[in-house]
Amino acid sequence: MSDVTRTNKRPRAGLGPIARSDGTLAIIAIDQRNSLRKMLAAAGQPTGPEDVRSFKVDVTAALSPAASAVLLDPQFGVPAVVEAGAMAPGCGTLVAAEAAERDTWNGEPRARRDPTRTAKWVTDMGGQALKLFVEMRPDRVPGPGEPDLVAEVVEVVSAVVEDCAAAGVPSVIETLLYALPGEGPLDARRRADLIVESARILSETRPDLLKLEYPSDARGCRAVAEAVTVPWAVLSAGVPLEDFLEAVRTACDDGGASGFIAGRVYWKDAVALAGEDRKHFLSTTGRDRLEQSLAAMEGRARPWTEAVEGGRSR
């Protein structure tokens, strides 16, 4: 664990702008840039800027009516959705603040904050909340002459959270694990333990919301609930729908999660389609998958207000 981890004393802005009326979260993620281009290319679809913009508009138009917010990138997503008027009334906009290309140290991801991508930058483009993505291995120990990559993550996240708190803009921090150089696949238990430890470290920076990987099972979810002091939502990582629905149920029942932030589970099959075929798929199959996700968290998801008032997530 980094020795710079600390508790941010600023009050949180609150998740109202990106939450449902009952305080739960049903957020669609379509902030992918390079990875979306790769998916389109693999499906034999064009990958130009207008093609990416059009895809994001179609996803937003089809799914935002049933969502509490949509997570968009600032390069393609926000401008295209605003221009097209594709966002449903009452659905919030969560803007990704990380750069499409990220720094590395000997192949490991390195956290960096773009000083121009502030809370004010988000509101100036019409967004209601800021999301920052970081990759972290909480068990990484720096060698001689190496930077402390965990400490860097905490410093970057703390700066973003403080900026958002000062501006009254909700901060959402997404974190994923990565493989250390030369490391083989992690078993489920070890992976869950690392997800929990990442959550604990980043919870101490006091963001408004943590976006976390599913920590394997009910045991992992209970460990997250014990580790965090802020609301959290589970991400989909593109897993099959039934697996995701089970993850949502367990994260809410056992982990006190406030809902989900998910994307590919709804729209990944649409990358092979275009025009009216794509719109039809998203408004039928994609929307049905989202409705099933809403049913999975109904009566289970913990309102973010309760998570804040209760101190720990559960």
As a whole number of angstroms, the distance between CA 46 and CA 40 comes to 7
Q: What ranges in 97-179 are assigned the alpha helix state H?
A: 119-124, 149-167
How does pLDDT run across 63-117, given as a tens digit for each residue?
999 999 999 999 999 999 999 999 999 999 999 999 878 899 999 999 999 999 9
pTM to 2 decimals? Answer: 0.94
pLDDT digits (tens, 9 = 90+) for 219-268: 999 999 999 999 999 999 889 999 999 999 999 999 999 999 999 999 99
> What pLDDT is recorded for position 313?
47
Q: Which of 236, 243, 180 is nearest to 213 (CA)?
A: 236
What's the confidence (pLDDT) of residue 5?
37
Answer whether residue 199 shows pLDDT above 90.
yes
Domains annotated for the chain, with CATH where assigned, are 16-309 (3.20.20.70)
Q: Residue range 2-21: average pLDDT? A: 65
Return the pLDDT at 2: 38
Contact indicator for 160, 132 with CB cutoff of 8 Å: yes
SS3 for 313? Answer: coil
- Do residues 269 and 281 make contact, with C-beta atoms less than 8 angstroms apart? yes
Mean pLDDT of the chain: 94
pLDDT tens digits, 27-39: 999 999 999 999 9
Q: Return the active site residues.
A: 211
Q: What pLDDT was estimated at residue 150?
A: 98
Angle ∠(201,127,112) on CA atoms, nearest 5 = 40
pLDDT of residue 13: 67
Q: Which pLDDT value is given to residue 278?
A: 98
| Distance, CA of 96 to chain centre | 9
State the pLDDT at residue 109.
96
